[in-house]
C-alpha cells in the first residue's frame, strides 16, 4: 500500500517538514521511514505494513518514581503522557487526553500471598481495550481539529473491538465510526454493546463471516477514488494511539504494590501482544519490572519463540479465552524493537507459558474455590503463567497478573466452568435494555462502497 493511496501526501509532507522538532515515529520494517504523530495516528499502519514506533523512548526521572506513590492515576498519567507526547501536544491537551481516558479505576486486588490481580475491566465495556479506545478517539479528534473533512473510522469486529471502539468514540466530534460485524456470529451481549449507541456510531450487519468484514474494510482503504472523497482511518490495536496509553496502568500498579522490596514479575494474558508490549514500554521508561510473563492459550507462537523457535504465524485455534485466539500476533515486532531487536535480550526479559482450555477451566475453579476470586478465562491464563513462573523462581518475586475482562463478559463460559449463574454488572445489563440499530449489508464491497459514498 503506497502513501499516495491512502491520504493526501502533500499535507503530510508539509506537516512533517514543520514538525522536525517533534517526535518522529518510524516503521518497524524500515527505520528510515519516519512520520509525525498525526500521520502515524491517522494511518495506523505504515505504508510498508510495519508498525509505528516512537523514535526515542523517554526515561522518567528518579523524582517521578519517588513521587509516584502519592500521585493519583491522573497526575501520574499527565507526567507519562507528557513525556511521550509533549513535543506534539501542549499541557492542556495532555490533560484533556488523560482526563478523557481515565474515567474509571484500575484497582490492584490481592488474590493470595504474593499474587495480585490488576483489574482492567472497570471501563464502559468492561475490558482493558477501553483504555486504548478512549485515548485513541480523543487524540484523533484533537489531531483533526481545523480539518474540514470528517474522519471515518472503519472497524471490522468479531465482537470485543467493536464495543470498545464504539464506546470510546461515542459522540466524539468530527469522527464517524462504521462498524462491520458478521450477522449471527457475535454474542448478543457484544452486539448490544455497539449497536444500541446510535449518534456517530453506525453498524452494518454483514451477511458473512468476520473475514468478509475485514476484507471489505481493507478494500475500502485501498480504494483510491473513495479515499480522495473522504478521510478513512482505522482504530485497530496496532495504532500507536491505542497501544501507547496502555503503559499507564503498569506504572499505576507498581506504585500501589505493597511489597516493593521484592523483584517484580508481571504476567500478561496475550493475543496480539499490544498489552505486553505496552508493559515493556513502561519498563523501558524506567519502571522497575524485573520480568514479564507472556501467557497465552494454545495459540502459542510467542511462547514457542521465547523457548528458542523461530517466529512463525499459524492459523488461529478457537479456545475459551477467545479474545486471545491470534495466530499472527501483530505486535511481536514491537516487542523486539523495544529491546533493540536483540532476540536474546527479549528471551531473557520475557518468559513464555501457554495453557489449554482444560488447564484454564481447572484453575478458574481452583481459584474460585480457594480464594473466592472469580477469574475470567483470559485472566485465568495470566494467573496460570504467573503461578508457573513463581513456582520456579521461589520467594524472590512478587507477582501481578492482568485481569483483562470482567468475567461477566464471558458469562456462558464462566457459568459452565464454575457451575454458577454469574450476576451481570449493571453496566452490561444497561446495554441489554437498549434498542439495536444496525443496517443489513450484503457480503459485497460494492454495497459497502455505496453506503460510504451516500453517507456524507
Residues that bind ligand PLP (CB under 6 A): 127, 129, 160, 237, 269-275, 323-324, 378, 404-405
Q: Of 129, 138, 349, 351, which residue is the catalytic one?
A: 129
Q: 163 vs 113, 330, 375, CA distance in Å? A: 35, 21, 21
Q: How far apart are CA 197 and CA 436, in angstroms?
A: 8
Sign of CA dihedral 346, 403, 415, 322: negative
Question: Which residues fall within 8 angstroms of residue 390, CB to CB, at 6 or more apart?
Answer: 114, 115, 265, 397, 399
Question: Which residues fall within 8 angstroms of residue 402, CB to CB, at 6 or more apart?
Answer: 117, 118, 120, 128, 266, 267, 268, 269, 275, 379, 382
DSSP 3-state assignment of 259?
coil
Question: Which residue, 152 or 242, is less far from ligand PLP as judged by CB?
Answer: 242
Shortest approach of ligand PLP to residue 272 CB, angstroms?
3
Question: Which residue, 244 or 441, is less far from ligand PLP as judged by CB?
Answer: 244
Q: Which of 120, 93, 123, 201 is nearest to 157 (CA)?
A: 201
Confirm whether 435 is a catalytic residue. no
The string of DSSP letters for 380-394 reads HHHHHHHHHHHHHHG
Shortest approach of ligand PLP to residue 121 CB, angstroms?
8
* Residue 305: other Cβ atoms inside 10 A: 22
Shortest approach of ligand PLP to residue 181 CB, angstroms?
15
Phi, psi torsion values for 446, nearest 5 degrees: -55, -40
- Is 266:188 a contact under the CB 8 Å cutoff? no
Question: Which residue, 243 or 251, is less far from ligand PLP as judged by CB?
Answer: 243
Q: 67 vs 61, 96, 254, 263, 277, CA distance in Å? A: 10, 22, 12, 20, 25
- Is 316:298 a contact under the CB 8 Å cutoff? no
Question: Which residue, 195 or 323, is less far from ligand PLP as judged by CB?
Answer: 323
Question: Which residue, 255 or 301, is less far from ligand PLP as judged by CB?
Answer: 301
Shortest approach of ligand PLP to residue 109 CB, angstroms?
17
Shortest approach of ligand PLP to residue 424 CB, angstroms?
16
Shortest approach of ligand PLP to residue 12 CB, angstroms?
28
Shortest approach of ligand PLP to residue 397 CB, angstroms?
22
Q: How far apart are CA 203 and CA 176, in angstroms?
A: 11
Question: Which residue, 102 or 302, is less far from ligand PLP as judged by CB?
Answer: 302
* Nearest-CB residue for ligand PLP: 272
* Residue 328: other Cβ atoms inside 10 A: 14
Question: Which residue, 339 or 448, is less far from ligand PLP as judged by CB?
Answer: 339
The CA R_g of the chain, rounded to the nearest whole Å, is 21
Catalytic residues, by residue number, are: 129
Amino acid at each position: 500500500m503506497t502513501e499516495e493511496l491512502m491520504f493526501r501526501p502533500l499535507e503530510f509532507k508539509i506537516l512533517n517538514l514543520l514538525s522536525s522538532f517533534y517526535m518522529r515515529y518510524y516503521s518497524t520494517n524500515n527505520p528510515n521511514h519516519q512520520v509525525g504523530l498525526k500521520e502515524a495516528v491517522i494511518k495506523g499502519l505504515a505504508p510498508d505494513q510495519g508498525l509505528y514506533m516512537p523514535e526515542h523512548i523517554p526515561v522518567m526521572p528518579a523524582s517521578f518514581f519517588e513521587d509516584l506513590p502519592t500521585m493519583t492515576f491522573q497526575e501520574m498519567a499527565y507526567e507519562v503522557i507528557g513525556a511521550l507526547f509533549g513535543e506534539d501536544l501542549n499541557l492542556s491537551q495532555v490533560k484533556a487526553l488523560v482526563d478523557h481516558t481515565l474515567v474509571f479505576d484500575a484497582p490492584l486486588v490481592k488474590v493470595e500471598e504474593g499474587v495480585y490481580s490488576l483489574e482492567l475491566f472497570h471501563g464502559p465495556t468492561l475490558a482493558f481495550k477501553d483504555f486504548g479506545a478512549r485515548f485513541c478517539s480523543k487524540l484523533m479528534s484533537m489531531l483533526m481539529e481545523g480539518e474540514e473533512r470528517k474522519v471515518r473510522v472503519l472497524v471490522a469486529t468479531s465482537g470485543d473491538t467493536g464495543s470498545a471502539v464504539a464506546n470510546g468514540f461515542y459522540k466524539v466530534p468530527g469522527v464517524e465510526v462504521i462498524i462491520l460485524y458478521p450477522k449471527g456470529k457475535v454474542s448478543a451481549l457484544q452486539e448490544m454493546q455497539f449497536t444500541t449507541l446510535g449518534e456517530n456510531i453506525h453498524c452494518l450487519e454483514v451477511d458473512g463471516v468476520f473475514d468478509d468484514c475485514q476484507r471489505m474494510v481493507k478494500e475500502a482503504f485501498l480504494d483510491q477514488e473513495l479515499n480522495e472523497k473522504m478521510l478513512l482511518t482505522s482504530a485497530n490495536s496496532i495504532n500507536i494511539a491505542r497501544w501507547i496509553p496502555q503503559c499507564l496502568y503498569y506504572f499505576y500498579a507498581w506504585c500501589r504494590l505493597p511489597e516493593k522490596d521484592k523483584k517484580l514479575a508481571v504476567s500478561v494474558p496475550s493475543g496480539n501482544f499490544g498489552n505486553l508490549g505496552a508493559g515493556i514500554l513502561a519498563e523501558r521508561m524506567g519502571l522497575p519490572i524485573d520480568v514479564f510473563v507472556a501467557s497465552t492459550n494454545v495459540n502459542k507462537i510467542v511462547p514457542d519463540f521465547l523457548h528458542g523457535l523461530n517466529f512463525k504465524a499459524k492459523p488461529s485455534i478457537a479456545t475459551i479465552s477467545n479474545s486471545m485466539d491470534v495466530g499472527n500476533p501483530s505486535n511481536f515486532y514491537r516487542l523486539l524493537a523495544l529491546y533493540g531487536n536483540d532476540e536474546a535480550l527479549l528471551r531473557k526479559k520475557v518468559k513464555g507459558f501457554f495453557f489449554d482450555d482444560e488447564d484454564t477451566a481447572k484453575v478458574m475453579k481452583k481459584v474460585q474455590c480457594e480464594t473466592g476470586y472469580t477469574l475470567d478465562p483470559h485472566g485465568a491464563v495470566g494467573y496460570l503463567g504467573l503461578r508457573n513462573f513463581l513456582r520456579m523462581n521461589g520467594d524472590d518475586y512478587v507477582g501481578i497478573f492482568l485481569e483483562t475482562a470482567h468475567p461477566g463478559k464471558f458469562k456462558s463460559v464462566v457459568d459452565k466452568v464454575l457451575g454458577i449463574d454469574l450476576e451481570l454488572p449493571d453496566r452490561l445489563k444497561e446495554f441489554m435494555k437498549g434498542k439495536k440499530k444496525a443496517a443489513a449489508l450484503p457480503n459485497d464491497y460494492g454495497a459497502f462502497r455505496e453506503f460510504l459514498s451516500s453517507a456524507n
